[in-house]
Amino acid sequence: MSQRANDLSLRIESFRDDVIGYVDALSGEEWNAECDLEEWTAGVTARHIGAGHFRVFRLAGMIVEGKELPPLTVNQINAMSDKDSRAQSDCT
């Protein structure tokens, strides 16, 4: 692995660990509190981050392999996120 790739990997792992630490420390009340920006609970937002990073890595893998990315607009991504958040609104 190149040094640049290794550095990026370490940054991603560090960010992941920070998010997990933050989420693990949430009280039940905080977990169920609504986040202003998305109007989702903290629990739904945490689940969204956890599930979404796998999608991002799949897309990054496609880029590395020289494959064409699927045609996605920001509006499509936002609509998928909104649909997913509604479907997972009771996650614990």
- State the pLDDT at residue 33: 94
- State the pLDDT at residue 39: 84
Torsion of CA 21, 58, 40, 37, to 10 degrees: 90
Integer Cα distance of 16 and 49 in angstroms = 9
pLDDT digits (tens, 9 = 90+) for 1-33: 788 888 888 998 999 999 999 999 999 999 999
Instruction: Tell me the pLDDT band of 92, cut-offs 50, 70 and 90.
Output: low
pLDDT digits (tens, 9 = 90+) for 27-75: 999 999 998 887 889 999 998 888 888 888 888 889 889 999 999 899 9
Residue with tokens 């997990």: 20
Q: Compute the half-sphere exposure of residue 52: CA atoms within 13 Å on the CB side of its CA.
A: 15
Instruction: Tell me the pLDDT band of 81, cut-offs 50, 70 and 90.
Output: confident
